[in-house]
Chain A
Amino acid sequence: MSKKTGTQPALHKVIMVGSGGVGKSALTLQFMYDEFIEDYEPTKADSYRKKVVLDGEEVQIDILDTAGQEDYAAIRDNYFRSGEGFLCVFSITEEESFQATQEFREQILRVKNGDNIPFLLVGNKGDLYDKRKISIAEAQARAQQWNVHYVETSAKTRENVDKVFYDLMREIRSRKIDDTKVSNGHGKEKSKIKRLKCCIL
């Protein structure tokens, strides 16, 4: 047990945000380990990493599962800053959690300095449709307003769980490619970019 593997694959950093109890941890654990835990245990902060194949390419995903309850919002600044993409989760059965997404969105934009951030609005607990408080239309309206996608999930039935993570990773990836083009425009690191170009061709 002392061999080492070689080159590291691309790494995408995803942050789970949203009010307490909406199912951030449940979504993460379902995606990571295919398991669903009924008991609610509030999170402080947990970090996960997984190797996945994204459109044929092996990549690594880092997930930071954060606390819905945080006394001081400023504490989040640091990990918002470190994130490359966000799954902003609310529970379709809870009005307040939907409202809270507004604040999360604003804080993220403030910390990240921009509005073109890989971001998905996630309405979780889709299996509890009979307790639905937020209509799809309402959620979609907000997503449109933010110019992001809205997906409904269920951490319990695994519905759309993979989809939200993969969709977000795709966004992050294309965002990174865009960034590289921008930096190309700035004339930085010419040799590297040349090689990248060859690859694209």
Chain B
Amino acid sequence: MATIRHSLQTEIFHPIDERLMTFVHVYELYKKKKTSNFLCLTVTKEAPIVFYIHQEEKGFDLHFDKVYKWIAVNLQERQTFLVILWKQCMNIMTGNKPEFRNLPKEWLMSYSNNVPISLKSENDVNNVGDNVVIVEPEEYQALSEKEETDLEKMMLDLGFISNNAEKFIEKLTNQLSILDGENLQSVLSSEQKVVELINQLNLAINEVANLEFQLDSYDEILGHVRTTIEKMEQKNVLIQIVNKNYDKLLLQLEKVVHQLELSPKYQTALTDADLTNPTGLKDAIAAAKELQAVMNAEIHPALVQLTAVQEQKKKFDKWKSKFSHILSRHLNNLFIHIGNDTSKLKLSGSDLILPVRSQFHKELSGYTPLMHWCKLMERKAYTALKKVYTSSLGKLYERDIKQFMEEAKYRIVARIEREQWSQDIDVDERTRFDQILEIVLSQLEPVCLSEQNFCISFFQLDVFSSSTKNTQTTLDGFGDENLHVPQKTIDKKVNEEVRRMMSEIFGCIELELLNFITYYEKLDSVYCMSALIHLSEHVMSAQDTDSFLSITFGSVLVHVKRSYDKYMQTQEKSIIESRIPRKSKCGILPFVSNFEEFANTAENIFKNTERKTDLDKWYVRLMSTIFETIQNIAAEHPKTPPEVIKMENFHHLYALLSQLKISVLDGHRKEVKQKYNEALNAYVTRYFGRPLEKLNLFFEGVQGKVAQGVKESEISYQMAFSKQELRRVIREYPAREVKKGLDHLYKKVDKHLCEEENLLQVVWRAMQEEFIQQYKSIEDLIQRCYPGSMICLEFSIEDILQFFSEIARSH
């Protein structure tokens, strides 16, 4: 036990300046490995006194903030440990004292009767005996190692052993009193030395004060030096900045001077430019480019204000205007010369071709860089040149196109004359008009396109500038002003510009085309249909619908569409206003028979085209008008019965629609067939009453009576329908009379019907059928109403058939 305490104290706590007060041998409850520990209570050797509880293997429950569980190996040890821990706590800690639970009172009583105890004494199973010696911590002073050895050494020196303690104490007491005496003496003798020491110390303090003063003065001196050096440093930085600025300025100046330098070679090339020969032109282009470059030197805008720069700029401006003057004059002359080129086109080839004026494009393209230069450097001159070009070329193209159109007309007419005697003048002429119009339209396209492309590249129309400045160089303070314009707007502006220029150059196209088309429309309005189709195709197939030509064709198309609708309206009007034929045989109305030609022409022109719906619309409208007008004329014709007019015309129309197979008129075709059948029936029944009129009237009376409720067998008792009366009526129709009546009817029908429609046989067959029908119904009524009267008609059905055969043979 003592050995363990000793070794704990020396090995563990001594090195950390703590003293072991007590310890207990424990092991931890929840650890599987039952390694035993020592739980030690230690105290620091010096103030502040701190107690530690060290776990050096072995244990039991101690509730700090956390619950530690230990099991003590030895109950005695546990008790001792806990009591000492409690005591220490009670003694040292103030304020919140830790609470000890389940600590038996008896333990505490036996060791500290004077200390207030606040322990809960609960049933304590682990209660153990009290007779344990505990060393009070105050009393106990563990010997340090040195003390121990000294003690041992001294004991050894004195030759004592432990069983001779009394003597030893005595000896020690003696020595102690001797030492005390010595000590007292040395204290008394040292007083003088202390005074001496104090004096010495005072001296030293004075010396130190001196030294401090010295140091302060040095410090001051050093402070001055520092500020001086700081100032010098600042100056140095400024000098460096100035130097750098000088460098920059020099660089800028060098740049300005260098950039604004135009070599004399270029100066002369500009001021004495000769644009008439290729080398002159080449030099001029190079010089112009150089001038543009120097005028666009990358110089800070502020530097432009420098007098030197301004002076240089003035020089540049002078050369620039001199050169642009030369350029303007030269190009102006060229343009006017082109405009005045009155050489006739060669249009005599077998194909009608409008030549592309590529020659002068080639000539001018050499000047393209200069034109671009002009656009940026001398906007006024550029604008003026563009104007001259536009008007000159306008003149040229107007002559070309006029001549071309004349030739086109001539080619249509010339063949007409050649083929004067052909039967289908109209058709041939129309085909030729068709072909030539198509050629004209497709010939205009490449010419326009090539001119457009040339203008775009020559005048740089595709590069847009929102600036209105005459000279767009940095020296003129020009920056890129397009930055904020959206691409869409730029494209639109570019297109507008191109279109505007083209419409000025080719202003004549619209007019000439209109003249051409109206000329033929006046000859025959049918031409507007062809024109409509061809123009539509060109407008619709155009890739660039925004292009000048598309728009021009578009506006001609609008005109043509208007004439087309007018043409159709005229057709309609001519139907509505067609006069009633004065002939006694009305026959086929002119507008009905002419519809065939009209429809054939129109079908030919419109078939498989996108414009078919325009025609279909009119077909339907015209057909309705035709129906109406047939009915109107039928009602008003003075001689021909309305049924005949309707029958013949609707029959004709039906045949026509069957043959034309115009799908939009399919419904009309069926309607027409029905109208024809209705008219045929109406005609047959209406005109057929005649040959046996009195008999018909008589039996209509009979039927009337029957309808009123008179029994058929009692009809003969009615006065008006007596057997005598019947016999009298029958007597009026002997076979001879009937034959005469039929003959008469046949002649009448023959007179009504026209040869052209060939319906006589159809009608006559229907009439024969109807006649037999009527005969049979009269016979039937006689059988029923006058039974057994032996009355019958004076002619038999065989007689009738005989009459029919005779009539047939007589024609």
Contacts and interface: CB of A to CB of B under 8 A. Distances in A.
Interface in B564-598: 571, 574-575, 578, 590-591, 594-595, 597-598
B804 A77 contact: yes
Contacts of A32: 655, 658-659
Contacts of B766: 44-45
Interface stretch (A78-86, A94-102, A188-196): A78-86
B761 A78 contact: yes
Interface string B740-774: 00000000000000000111111011101100100
A24 to B, nearest CB: 14
Q: Which residue of A44, A75, A79 has the most chain B CB atoms within 10 A of its CB atom?
A: A75
A62 interface: yes
A78 B804 contact: yes
Interface string A153-165: 0000000000000
A45 B594 contact: no
B801 A47 contact: no
A71 B771 CA distance: 13
Contact of B574 (A2, A46, A71): A2
B529 to A, nearest CB: 14
A111 interface: yes
B337 to A, nearest CB: 54
Given A1-B571, A77-B808, A77-B809, A47 B769 contact: no
B807 A78 contact: yes
Contacts of A48: 655
Given A45-B766, A74-B804, A79 B761 contact: yes
Contact of B760 (A66, A71, A74, A82): A82
A118 to B, nearest CB: 17
Contact of B655 (A35, A49, A72): A49
B801 A45 contact: no
A185 to B, nearest CB: 24
Contact of A49 (B578, B758, B801): B758
Given A33-B658, A72-B801, A75-B769, A45 B761 contact: yes
B764 A78 contact: yes
B224 interface: no
B776 to A, nearest CB: 10
A197 interface: no
Contacts of B804: 74-75, 77-78
A66 B764 CA distance: 12
B386 interface: no
A67 B759 CA distance: 15
B595 A75 contact: no
B811 interface: yes
Given A32-B658, A111-B808, A2 B762 contact: no
Nearest to B598: A1
B430 interface: no
A101 to B, nearest CB: 21
B661 interface: yes
A68 to B, nearest CB: 13
B768 A75 contact: yes
Contact of A80 (B597, B658, B807, B808): B808
A81 B764 CA distance: 13
A33 B762 CA distance: 20
A104 to B, nearest CB: 15
B651 interface: yes
Contacts of B761: 45, 47, 64, 78-79, 82
A62 B651 CA distance: 14
Contacts of B805: 74, 77, 111
A78 B655 contact: no
Secondary structure class of chain B's binding surface, majority of residues: helix
A49 to B, nearest CB: 6
Interface residues of B, number: 36
A47 B759 contact: yes
Contact of B765 (A1, A2, A62, A75): A75
A82 B763 CA distance: 13
Contacts of A62: 758
A3 interface: yes
A186 interface: no
Interface in A10-64: 32-33, 35, 44-50, 62, 64
B594 A1 contact: yes
Contacts of A79: 761, 764-765
A4 B768 contact: no
Nearest to B811: A81
Contact of B659 (A33, A45, A78, A80): A33
Contacts of B768: 72, 75, 78
B19 to A, nearest CB: 131
Given A3-B594, A74-B801, A75-B804, A44 B571 contact: no
Contacts of B802: 74
Contacts of B762: 44-47, 64
Nearest to B761: A79
Contacts of A111: 805, 808-809
Given A45-B762, A78-B764, A1 B575 contact: yes
A111 to B, nearest CB: 7
B808 A72 contact: no
Interface in B554-572: 571
Contacts of A81: 808-809, 811
B651 A47 contact: yes
Interface string B769-811: 1001000000000000000000000000100011011011101
Interface string B703-723: 000000000000000000000
A71 B594 CA distance: 40
A199 B514 CA distance: 49
Nearest to B655: A48
Interface in B651-689: 651, 655, 658-659, 661
A45 B575 contact: no
Contacts of A74: 801-802, 804-805
A47 B757 contact: yes
A35 B655 CA distance: 13
Nearest to A62: B758
A1 B759 contact: no
Contacts of B765: 44-45, 66-67, 75, 78-79
A135 B757 CA distance: 39
Interface string B336-356: 000000000000000000000
B578 A2 contact: yes
A151 B811 CA distance: 31
B595 A1 contact: yes
Contacts of B655: 32, 48-49
B598 to A, nearest CB: 6
Contact of A1 (B574, B757, B801, B811): B574
Contacts of B575: 1
Q: Which residue of A32, A50, A79 has the most chain B CB atoms within 10 A of its CB atom?
A: A79
A1 B591 contact: yes
B656 to A, nearest CB: 11
A185 B766 CA distance: 40
A1 B528 CA distance: 16
B628 to A, nearest CB: 15
Contacts of B758: 47, 49, 62, 64
Contacts of A77: 804-805, 808-809
15 contacts: A3-B594, A3-B597, A32-B655, A44-B762, A44-B769, A50-B659, A62-B758, A66-B765, A67-B765, A72-B797, A74-B804, A74-B805, A75-B768, A111-B805, A111-B808
**4 tightest A-B CB contacts, nearest first:** A1-B594, A74-B801, A77-B808, A78-B808
Given A49-B757, A77-B805, 9 more contacts: A1-B591, A45-B762, A45-B765, A64-B761, A64-B762, A77-B809, A78-B765, A111-B805, A111-B808
Interface of A: 1-4, 32-33, 35, 44-50, 62, 64, 66-67, 71-72, 74-75, 77-82, 111
